[in-house]
Each structure stands twice: as structure tokens, then as C-alpha cells.
Amino acid sequence: MLRIVPVASPDEAVSLRLEGQIRGPWVEELRRSCAQALATGRGLTLDMTDVSFIDLDGVALFQSLSDHNVTLLHCSLFVGEQLKGGGVMSTIFSAGRVSRGEDEHLSGMRTADVPPARKENSMVGARGGAESACADMTEQELVQRLQAGDTEAFDTLFRQHFSKVYRQALHLLGTAAEAEEVVQEVFLTVYEKAHTFRGASAFTTWLYRLTVNAALSRLRRRTRRKEIALDDYLPQFRADGHHLVRPVVDWSADLEQCLANAQVQQLLWKAIELLQPLDKAVLVLSDFEDLPNREIGEALGLTVLAVKARLHRARLFLRGQWAVALGHSPA
């Protein structure tokens, strides 16, 4: 159980106090709350004083938050070590002082204290004077200035969102060169078509849509590999609803032991490449970018139900690929 409590903040950032354990379905709940807070453009502070546990999915969530204007406060030693093990500490905490009080709590650091080189998406620009006028603006203000032709606003938006756009493109396309092309295309469109952005959705949603569309058009132009029957890797059932192939083998503990890490990665990327472009986009935006289904639907022009159906099918397919790699039936 995790309680997420908005609290008053002395500064501009949205502040949430977390109480309980960050695990299971509560990770998704926290992810949504963080996304909502970050969409305001004001930064986010998470008070971790009363967080007693965080599971792997929770660590992954904090990894994904590392590129945003997020501060973690008062992690316990235990939780701090869990985050550190997942690589989160290196991006949020490494650049400055970390003090340990007698109660053994770790104090987090605001990203404003982080050297500029680390702040790819911070509101405080690394370039100093030229962008300082935009540094404290909300995203809405920046977009309005961009629409008025302000190139400094564009520069700030670029620095805030570059990493996210590039990463999405790289996950979708798999090659750095194509990802770079997509990033250029997306931000050029942002500059040229800013006047068409009406604000009906969040600016980030518009960015996701531009990124995914640019990537999808490239994916669809790729020479199609030999078609495989996706259904061959999906679970199958008898008329009475039982699994067709029994017993279903639990290989969940075997995978990383049986395959070296590089093999695992290679296998997974190959499997993802076999997905239809739209299914791949749904999977990437969900399981790599942690977007909620509603935002994925807005970016791809799909209903939430359609997003869930495609995501589930993609996940089942990947599961089937793992099963076959380990010598088991996917069914």
C-alpha cells in the first residue's frame, strides 16, 4: 500500500509525500502522479521519509525520473541502497553533498545544485545568460513565447525535451543515426508548426505524437522481413479454457541464469523488431517510456482499449519468444 499525499511546498516545485511501499500496482499509481506533476513544468519533490520498500519496478520508475527535474528527499539507508543498486543514485545524488543525520536518513539534492552538464532537462539552462530569461518559465509560457517566434524559448524547450525525444526514437528505430534524424525532424516541426499547437493536450503529448509518427513512417518504409506468425508465440487454450500445453513451465527464475546478458538483450531486440510498427510503438511507449495508456492512445490515435489490446498481445508475444529461447512451449 502506498499513500501519495500532495503537500505544500516552499518553492515552485510540486511536492508529494510518499508513505508505505513502492511496489506492485502502486508503482503505476506513483508513475501517474509523477507524470501529472511534471506536466505542470514546475519540477517535482518526493518526500521519501516514510517509504519502507521499493521493488524493481519502482526502481525502474525512479531511473526514468532521473532525467526530469525531480528531487528525492529523506530516503532511508535501505531504500537509498535499493535505488543506488538500480543506478538512480548516480544521476540524482552523485553531483553533490549527501548528508547523513543521526537517524540515518539521506538528504536528497535539488537538481539546481547539480552541475549544469547533468541537467539535460532542467529549467535552469546550461548556457547561462541567453536562456536565463526562460529558465523560470512554465512550459505553457515557453510554448507561448515560441509561438511568438522566441528562439530562446525554443532552445529551452529543446534542452528540456531532447533526451526524451531521442530516447523514444532510439527505442523505436534501434539505430542512433535514424534517431538523430527523427529528433531533428521533430524539433524542426516544433519550431515551424508551433502556431498549430492549440494546447488541447499537453505539449509533451504533442512531442510524443510527432516522435512516434516520424519513427513509424520510417519503420513502415523498412523492407519487411519474412513474415512470422505471431500467433505461434501466443498462449493457446482448450475449449474448456485450460491452457493447451500443460504443465505451463515457470521459467521466470531461469532466464537470466541460462542466457548471458548480451544474449538476452540481443534476443529481445530481435523479438521486438518482429512486431508490427504500431504494436512496437505501443510497447516502447508503455514499457520503455512508462507512459500511461491514455497518453499512448493520444499519441498514436488509438483508444485506451486498443492500446491495452496491442500492448497485451506484444507482451504475450515477447513472453512466447523467451519461452522458445529456453526450450519451452510458448503456449
Partner 1 sequence: MAESARATITCEQVTALLIDYVAGDLDPTTTLVLEQHVQNCPDCMAFLRTYRESIRLTRTLRYEAIPGELQDRVHAILRQKMTGESR
Among the residues of the chain, which ranges form H helices?
A: 25-38, 56-65, 77-85, 88-92, 129-135, 139-147, 151-173, 176-193, 203-221, 255-258, 261-273, 277-283, 293-300, 304-325
Task: For the CB of residue 288, give the shortest distance to partner 1 in the complex, in Å.
Answer: 5
What three-state secondary structure class fits 222? coil
Site for partner 1 in 195-234 (CB under 8 A): none
Of the two residues 107 and 163, which places its CB atom closer to partner 1 in the complex? 163
Q: How far apart are CA 292 and CA 289, in angstroms?
A: 9
Residue 148: half-sphere exposure toward Cβ, Cα within 13 Å: 9
- Residues that bind partner 1 (rule: CB under 8 A) add up to a total of 65
Provide the sign of the torsion angle of the four alpha carbons 83, 84, 86, 87, taken in this order: positive
Yes or no: say if 69 and 159 are a contact pair by the CB < 8 Å rule. Answer: no
Of the two residues 147 and 201, which places its CB atom closer to partner 1 in the complex? 147
Q: Which of 167, 172, 204, 285 binds partner 1 (CB under 8 A)?
A: 167
Applying CB under 8 A, does 257 fall inside the site for partner 1?
Answer: no
Task: For the CB of residue 280, give the shortest distance to partner 1 in the complex, in Å.
Answer: 12
Please tell me whether the peptide bond between 116 and the residue prior to it is cis, using omega within 30 degrees of 0. Answer: no
**Which residue, 330, 328, 282, is CA-closest to 304?**
282
Applying CB under 8 A, does 273 fall inside the site for partner 1?
Answer: no
Four-point Cα dihedral 156, 157, 158, 164, nearest 10:
130
Applying CB under 8 A, does 274 fall inside the site for partner 1?
Answer: no
Q: How far apart are CA 130 and CA 264, in angstroms?
A: 45
Of the two residues 209 and 308, which places its CB atom closer to partner 1 in the complex? 308
Q: Taking contact as CB under 8 A, which single stretch among the options 72-80, 92-100, 107-115, 313-321 is the one that binds partner 1?
A: 313-321
DSSP at 100: B
The CA distances from residue 131 to 39, 66, 80, 95, 242, in Å, are 21, 22, 34, 22, 62
Among the residues of 12-150, which ranges form H helices?
A: 25-38, 56-65, 77-85, 88-92, 129-135, 139-147
Provide the sign of the torsion angle of the four alpha carbons 6, 10, 14, 16, taken in this order: negative
Q: Which of 68, 119, 171, 218 binds partner 1 (CB under 8 A)?
A: 171
Applying CB under 8 A, does 235 fall inside the site for partner 1?
Answer: yes
Q: In this structure, what C-alpha cell is assigned to residue 326?
A: 529456453
Task: For the CB of residue 173, give the shortest distance to partner 1 in the complex, in Å.
Answer: 11
What three-state secondary structure class fits 2? strand
Applying CB under 8 A, does 137 fall inside the site for partner 1?
Answer: no
Task: For the CB of residue 146, give the shortest distance to partner 1 in the complex, in Å.
Answer: 11
Q: In this structure, what C-alpha cell is assigned to residue 206?
A: 504533442
Applying CB under 8 A, does 269 fall inside the site for partner 1?
Answer: yes
Of the two residues 104 and 232, which places its CB atom closer to partner 1 in the complex? 232
Q: x/- binding map, residues 291-310, to partner 1, per CB under 8 A? A: -----------------x--
Task: For the CB of residue 38, give the shortest distance to partner 1 in the complex, in Å.
Answer: 18
Task: For the CB of residue 317, give the shortest distance to partner 1 in the complex, in Å.
Answer: 9
Of the two residues 28 and 104, which places its CB atom closer to partner 1 in the complex? 28
Site for partner 1 in 12-31 (CB under 8 A): 24-26, 28-29
What are the residues binding partner 1 (CB under 8 A)?
Answer: 24-26, 28-29, 56-57, 60, 63-64, 66, 87, 117, 120, 149, 151, 154-155, 158-159, 162-163, 166-167, 170-171, 180, 183-184, 187-188, 191-192, 235, 237, 240-243, 246-252, 255-256, 264-265, 268-269, 272, 283, 287-288, 308, 311-312, 315-316, 318-319, 322-323
